[in-house]
Structure 1
Amino acid sequence: WWCQGYSEPGAGSDLASLKTKAVRDGDHYVVNGAKTWTTYAQFADMMFCLVRTSSEGKRQEGISFVLMDMKSKGITVKPIRTMDGGEEINEVFLDDVRVPVENLIGEEGKGWTYAKFLLGYERTGMATIGRSRRQLKEVRKIAASEPLGEGTLLDDPKFREKAAAIEIDLLALESLVLQVLAEQSAGANPGPESSFLKIKGTEIQQALSELLLEAVGNYAHPFVPEALEHGWNEEPIGPAYAAAAAPHYFNYRKTSIYGGTNEIQKNIVAKMILGL
């Protein structure tokens, strides 16, 4: 199991300002610093990690990419409890952690290049067309079971308009995803268009989580994160599907932040695609 050591307490969107330092000591690097928002670090065997091996020249040129054994002495993992009650993300503290030089990926000082390459694939994957399509189908199914006036919520023109707008965005995003995948199949690497996929994909995911809250109605108000845990055997408050609505909504506030905030992605699109 791998976790990703990119973001730091003072270096998230401005990743090039990272301060976790790796100093060469014989056949090892001695690493000191901290990482944050590290997903499932508590379960990880290894971490691929960005470290600063030089402070000379451009900030990006002093960053290297190393593989770190999470069982190494000096690594402390502390969970961060999220708004939905989960503990999927963590702080990782690195105190005199010794990393073999052979765990350096590629060349020293090229970590920024390798990280950007990987982030292109990560952002492409954030479009999550299939998952969003399934959730839209589920939202419509729920709305069709919620009474409203003489019909159901799904009969309400305003609700139908919101669902249709999301579906239109999803179809347009799918078209772009297929174009990007075709280019990758022909041997191209992800380009700046992956930033657009990330922006629109996460906006759709958040819009769906909001529409789900609207469909569930008042039963979405109780926040019972325990209801999502394995072995929970209490009577649900309202329909069984309502228990996940609020936790899902709160959790998905993160999607426009991770993988590079949507604001940063818009800057990339403006510069690299629109030439502004």
Structure 2
Amino acid sequence: MNLNYSPEDIAFRDEVRRFVRANLPDAIRDKVLGHQHLEREDFVQWQRILHARGWGAPGWPVEFGGTGWTTLQRHLFEVECAVAGAPRQMPFGLSMIGPVLMKFGNSAQHQRFLARIVASEDWWCQGYSEPGAGSDLASLKTRAVREGDHYVVNGQKTWTSYAQYANWIFCLVRTDSQAKPQAGISLLLIDMNTPGITVRPIETLEGACDVNEVWFDDVKVPVENLVGEENAGWTYAKYLLGHERTGIAGLGNCHREMQLLKTFATGARAGGQPLIDDMRVRERIARLEMEIMALEMLLLRVATQARSKGAGAEASILKIRGSELQQEIAALQLDVMGPDAWPYAPSWLAGGYDGWTPAPAHAAAVTGNYLELRKPTIYGGTNEVQREIIAKAILEQ
């Protein structure tokens, strides 16, 4: 792999950098860099700015409204946006159900859903996990029974991220209870405004309520909202999870948080020297930077392979290392900030620190980010399950 950027790559990176700096609203940038909670409108506003520029779907082919960018261009775009303080583009439509519909959906579904995803006219959420069926997804019990031209869905999903904002959910349901677990699952697209759907928030460690329980009580779903073939949903689910796990690596976030870590470490401390003067701190920062570089190379390789043959066990490697690396950076931020990171309360931070700004700025919000990052090693399939996938792939060679 050639690790040097070409003049064309550098020109593209600079174009993205200029655009983001000129068009990202200051209020959104400050929230992201300050680890504050983002509302629905923050994500939608930024997505529509990108859409107006023609950059709404970096990973999609041109025929479906995407940019047609190379793997490297998509990588440069993600990193530049993250480092500048842009919110991530919501993955549920762009990186999950969108690619599934392109590959397995019919032309009517293409026309109905894809353009609305890019324009942020629809907000999607993922209906996979259930109580008792998280990492063991094949154990799901939400049922869909066909009655004429529609399915009747009953059951419960949990840990459904941003369901409180969503107007559509792509949902794994059991359509054949007699078949072996993986063979009796289908993928349905369900309008969240359908009667019988209830969304209940779950408050997480950092004080946010962005994950939810979703209940289905005799929810009627048109048969035309079935993706692909009935009882073939497990194939589509695996394809989608490969895309999700690649995205969980969070490389752009790693670059942004590393910059913030260095800012903290080089800042003058009351009654002492900057912590960057401590050899042990420098060694830990240097090790993390090397890990980020290795993750970057792995991401480019996996993303390139995924375009031609789909993401395999390599995506699991990427998910494990990327999620753990984000946690390691956040943990070192806490170590570096010490007592400055202690006074954490979401309502206080949202109020602008109640008239007091820590030194350096945003120090108190580091704790919230640390707590938020307990999630990546769990969602998308726990890291323990990913290690089993890797081991199985090795043994089958």
Q: TM (normalized to structure 2)?
A: 0.67
Structure 1, residues 143-202: CA drift from partner, whole Å, max 9, x if none? 1104387531111111112111211111111111111222234x2211110000000000
Question: Aligned to 2:231, what secondary structure does the other structure show?
Answer: coil
- Is 1:56 aligned to residue 178 of structure 2? yes
Match of 1:253 in 2: 374
Match of 1:105 in 2: 227
Structure 1, residues 254-276: CA drift from partner, whole Å, max 9, x if none? 11000000000011011113549
Query: Contact conserved, 1:84 with 1:251, CA < 8 A, in 2?
Result: yes
Structure 1 segments unaligned to the other structure (5+ residues):
none
Query: Aligned match of 1:7 in 124, 129, 133?
Result: 129
Structure 1, residues 79-117: CA drift from partner, whole Å, max 9, x if none? 000100001110001101011111100000111110110
Query: Aligned match of 1:201 in 322, 330, 342?
Result: 322
Query: Aligned match of 1:96 in 210, 213, 218?
Result: 218
Match of 2:161 in 1: 39
- Is 1:164 aligned to residue 164 of structure 2? no
Q: Across the two proteins, how many residue pairs are aligned to each other?
A: 274
- Displacement of 1:214: 1.1
Question: What is the CA RMSD across the aligned residues, in angstroms?
Answer: 1.6
Superposition map of 1:1-276 within 5 A: 1-147=123-269, 151-185=273-307, 187-229=308-350, 232=352, 234-236=354-356, 238-239=358-359, 240-273=361-394, 275=396
Which has the higher mean CA deviation after the structures are superposed, 239-248 or 81-90? 239-248
2-structure distance, mates of 1:95, 1:143: 53
2-structure distance, mates of 1:242, 1:256: 24
Distance 1:150 1:44, change over 3 A: closer
2-structure distance, mates of 1:259, 1:184: 17
Structure 1: which 4+ aligned runs deviate by more than 6 Å?
A: none
2-structure distance, mates of 1:270, 1:141: 39
- Displacement of 1:141: 1.2
Query: Contact conserved, 1:5 with 1:50, CA < 8 A, in 2?
Result: yes
Q: TM (normalized to structure 1)?
A: 0.95
Distance 1:78 1:150, change over 3 A: closer
Distance 1:77 1:150, change over 3 A: closer
Structure 2 segments unaligned to the other structure (5+ residues):
1-122
Query: Contact conserved, 2:144 with 2:152, CA < 8 A, in 1?
Result: yes
Letter in 1 for 2:355: E
2-structure distance, mates of 1:267, 1:167: 28
2-structure distance, mates of 1:57, 1:192: 26
Q: Which has the higher strand share?
A: 1
Identity %: 53
2-structure distance, mates of 1:182, 1:149: 50
